[in-house]
């Protein structure tokens, strides 16, 4: 199958060109289309450099790199999607723009061509609503950088046929990716479950319990996470992370659990976007020393546990609402955002009774809905069961 399919990718930004590389190195002919000729040329040069670097490192042979690069056709014309059996859209997160391009793509391709979106925050059902044959729509959400990150979330919409879901998952699996199946709800698995990693860290800072560096230290040194929440937000970009938070909050009908933070909003408004702007929660200017954390173990443990039980509760609630299977939820968090353990497995290890007690203490102390324990957690503690 993988040798026969011609794959289209719309959008030549970091994500689009990364997806094109993944498909090309898996043996597919790829049409990479971007109406912006300058962006397309930049992507072409960048992809060539990336592939040559893999040759220098000894990861690829020169022949393999040249063949993979040769399989990518760079074009400014969407008509070059003709003959594609799957197209993955990776453009701006704007529903009107997506509606326009999906209608156009459908008019170019054959009736069996699968039309996929790499959206991280928009409804797949809504994107597919403009199609004459909405059975062919599906979400295929890669993580950045696409060639390196193993996880891909596969998101069928209510209109998607079972066959399209199966073919898409098998195809992406053949690209040596780890696929998980997610329900078409805001944030899918990863962006939904990960919200408290940022939100609760910001809340702890706003309460004056600890500064950015201390919270990051608690989560990396005591929690085992690769990056602390503030380092990670600076890496992602405060503008991007805040927009996702705001989008998820609105999409969940303003559920308090996903409420954005004024601290992040103000940093974003001030242009403190993180590494890309030279300043975020930390100052990345040359010669500026990073602040030292206050390495108080008792405070650190308190920070770690508070963020962790919030993450666990979110993962448990995702299972409660059938967003994904327990296996896929844990797989998504370890392979998609490099968590040290799957959150459901981690909750078992901490003891579900302990997780519930910590959440109930927070709920009682604050009286806020954001701390309400998942009904599934209460049921499991009551019945003495585990994940």
Catalytic residue among 17, 121, 191, 313: 191
Q: What is the pLDDT of residues 161-210, one digit of tens each?
A: 999 999 999 999 999 999 999 999 999 999 999 999 999 999 999 999 99
**Does the active-site annotation cover 360?**
no
For the sheet containing 29-33, what is the strand order? 72-75, 29-33, 6-10, 86-89, 114-117, 137-142, 151-156, 178-181
The rounded distance, in Å, linking the Cα atoms of 204 and 210 is 7
**Does the active-site annotation cover 268?**
no
Note the pLDDT of residue 121.
80
Catalytic residue among 17, 75, 123, 141: 141
Residue 1: pLDDT above 80? no
- pLDDT grade for 144, boundaries at 50, 70 and 90: confident
Could you tell me the CA-to-CA distances from 316 to 60, 179, 370, 377 in Å, in that order? 41, 20, 14, 7
**Does the active-site annotation cover 191?**
yes
Share of the chain above pLDDT 90, in %: 94
Mean of the per-residue pLDDT values for the chain?
A: 96
Share of the chain above pLDDT 70, in %: 99
Residue 2: pLDDT above 50? no
**Does the active-site annotation cover 141?**
yes
Could you tell me the CA-to-CA distances from 356 to 26, 318, 350, 369 in Å, in that order? 45, 16, 10, 15
Q: What is the pLDDT of residues 254-278, one digit of tens each?
A: 999 999 999 999 999 999 999 999 9
| Domains of the chain and any CATH numbers | 6-181 (3.40.50.720), 192-383 (1.10.1040.50)
Query: pTM for this structure?
Result: 0.94
Q: What is the pLDDT of residues 82-102, one digit of tens each?
A: 999 999 999 998 999 999 999
The rounded distance, in Å, linking the Cα atoms of 139 and 31 is 19
Residue 3: pLDDT above 60? no
Within 10 A of 143 (CB to CB), how many other CB atoms are there? 23
Radius of gyration of the chain (CA): 22
Note the pLDDT of residue 93.
87
């Amino acid at each position: 199958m993988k040798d026969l399919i011609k794959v289209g990718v719309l959008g030549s930004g970091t994500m689009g060109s990364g997806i094109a590389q993944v498909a090309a190195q898996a043996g597919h002919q790829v049409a990479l289309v971007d109406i912006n000729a300058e962006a397309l040329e930049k992507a072409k040069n960048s992809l060539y450099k990336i592939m040559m670097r893999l040759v220098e490192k000894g990861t690829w042979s020169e022949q393999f790199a040249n063949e993979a690069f040769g399989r990518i056709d760079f074009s400014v014309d969407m008509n070059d999607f003709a003959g594609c059996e799957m197209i993955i859209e990776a453009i701006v997160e704007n529903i009107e723009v997506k509606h326009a391009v999906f209608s156009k793509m459908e008019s170019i391709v054959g009736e069996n061509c699968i039309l996929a979106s790499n959206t991280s925050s928009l409804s797949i059902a809504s994107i597919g609503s403009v199609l004459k044959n909405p059975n062919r729509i599906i979400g295929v959400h890669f993580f950045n950088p696409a060639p390196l990150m193993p996880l891909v979330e596969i998101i069928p919409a209510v209109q998607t046929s079972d066959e399209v879901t199966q073919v898409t998952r098998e195809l992406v699996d053949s690209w040596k990716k780890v696929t998980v199946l997610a329900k078409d709800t805001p944030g899918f698995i990863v962006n939904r479950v990960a919200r408290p990693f940022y939100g609760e860290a910001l809340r702890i800072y706003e309460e004056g319990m600890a500064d950015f560096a201390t919270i990051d230290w608690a989560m990396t040194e005591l929690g085992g996470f690769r990056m602390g929440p503030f380092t990670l937000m600076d890496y992602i970009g405060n503008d991007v992370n805040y927009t996702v938070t705001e989008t998820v909050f609105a999409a969940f009908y303003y559920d308090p659990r996903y409420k954005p933070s004024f601290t992040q909003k103000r940093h974003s408004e001030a242009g403190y976007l993180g590494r890309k702007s030279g300043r975020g929660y930390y100052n990345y200017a040359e010669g500026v020393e990073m602040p030292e954390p206050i390495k108080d173990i008792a405070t650190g443990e308190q920070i770690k546990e508070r963020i962790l039980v919030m993450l666990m509760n979110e993962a448990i609630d995702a299972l409660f609402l059938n967003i994904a299977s327990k296996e896929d939820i844990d797989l998504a968090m370890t392979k998609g955002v490099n968590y040290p353990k799957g959150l459901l497995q981690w909750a078992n290890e901490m003891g579900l009774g302990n997780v519930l007690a910590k959440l109930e203490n927070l709920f009682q102390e604050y009286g806020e809905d954001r701390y309400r324990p998942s009904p599934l957690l209460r049921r499991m503690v009551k019945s003495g069961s585990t994940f």
